[in-house]
Amino acid sequence: MSEMIKEAHMTGQDLMNMVQLTPKDVGKYAIVPGPRERADAIVKKMENPIKNFSFMEYTMHTGDYDGIRLTTINGGRFAPDTAITTEILCNAQVSGLIRVGSCGALKADIKIGDLVVVTTAIKGEGVTKYYVDDDFVPKTDEGMTKILARIAEDSLTANGLIENAVHTGPCWTTDAILRETREHVGKAVDQGAIAVDMVTSAFLTICDLYKIPAAVILAVSDNVMTGEMGFMNPDYYMAETAIINIALDTVKKLEA
């Protein structure tokens, strides 16, 4: 029986070396959306953006925003690919990370286009069990999250979300979007979850292990409890734009 030559086949440092990235190439902060289109919207707001690399489905840019060095990468739509990009960012020694994503609501009174600022994550995907024990609770950075939530509250009117609200609480992350049954959803709700996505627990777990402050803001795209789908709702697209602006304003506030 053959044995592995090294402890792990590939590490986050190996990935960073593979894309020829060094700590001096990245910004102090990174804003991490899921899809490429959302990352492109962030790049358009940067001054002098430079493409750090394009590897597989991921593309990273670094530039300046209001005099602050900033990085963005389409971090992945699902837990496994999010783990890859988060490992790269953490090994590149980014000082703070903000995830901007979307979610389904797990409370009937949360509307399409509302915003969710995450406090903790409930692990329901298959990635984090390779990193931590079952009882580990991934948490956002308290200070960064307070700033993010305050800016989110103040920005609703400015972003045209007059009738929408900001909710703060735990997010359940799952790999099986087509198995969000009463049984599984009920367990998550019983644990306090107010939203569900497919990324946050992996993102926060890895940031926690590297001791890098992280925060998460999500735009509500649908409501699991009522069955409402809002993917074509203008409020959802306005919320998508809003979370980018909120993340950028949070970076400015952190540096103020």
- Strands (E) in the chain, as ranges, are 29-33, 47-55, 58-65, 68-73, 96-105, 115-124, 166-174, 195-197, 214-223
Q: Which residue has the higher pLDDT, 59 or 157?
A: 59
Question: In DSSP terms, which residues pair with 104 in a beta bridge?
Answer: 196, 222
Please, which pLDDT band fits residue 108 given cuts at 50, 70 and 90? very high
Q: What is the mean pLDDT of the chain?
A: 95
The 10s digit of each residue's pLDDT in 56-86 is: 889 999 999 999 999 999 998 999 999 999 9
Residue 5 pLDDT level (bands cut at 50, 70, 90): confident
Q: pLDDT higher for 8 or 212? A: 212
Asked whether residue 55 is domain-assigned, the answer is yes
Dihedral sign for Cα 184, 140, 206, 241, please: positive
Residue ranges making up the domain that contains 157:
12-255
Q: Compute the residue count for the chain.
A: 256
Residue 16 lies in a domain: yes
Q: Is residue 25's pLDDT more than 90?
A: yes
Q: What is the pLDDT of residue 10?
A: 85
For the chain, how many structural domains are there in total?
1
Pairing type for strands 96-105 and 195-197 reads antiparallel
Q: What is the phi/psi pair of residue 227, to 5°?
A: 85, 5
Element (H, E) at 189: helix 182-190
Q: Is residue 110 part of a domain?
A: yes
pLDDT band at 210, cuts 50/70/90?
Answer: very high
pLDDT band at residue 6, thresholds of 50, 70 and 90? Answer: confident
Residue 92: band (very low, low, confident or very high) from pLDDT cuts 50, 70, 90:
very high
pLDDT at position 55, please?
A: 87
- Quick check: 22 pLDDT over 90? yes
The CA angle 84-88-94, to the nearest 5 degrees, is 135
pLDDT at 1 over 80: no
Integer Cα distance of 210 and 199 in angstroms? 17
Half-sphere exposure of 253 (CA within 13 A, CB side): 16
State mean pLDDT over 160-188.
94
For residue 6, tell me if it sits in a domain: no
pLDDT digits (tens, 9 = 90+) for 42-55: 999 999 999 999 98
Residue 2 lies in a domain: no
Question: What is the DSSP code string of 31-100?
Answer: EEESSHHHHHHHHTTSEEEEEEEEETTEEEEEEEETTEEEEEE---SSHHHHHHHHHHHHHTT-SEEEEE
**Does residue 236 sit within a domain?**
yes
The answer to whether the CB of 206 falls within 8 A of the CB of 173 is no
Tell me whether residue 156 is in a domain: yes
pLDDT at 181 over 90: yes
Task: Provide the pLDDT for residue 239.
Answer: 95
What pLDDT is attached to residue 146? 97
On whether residue 3 sits in a domain, the answer given is no
Report yes or no: 30 and 97 within 8 Å, Cβ to Cβ.
yes
Res 122: pLDDT: 98
Instruction: Please report, for the domain that includes residue 179, its CATH number.
Output: 3.40.50.1580
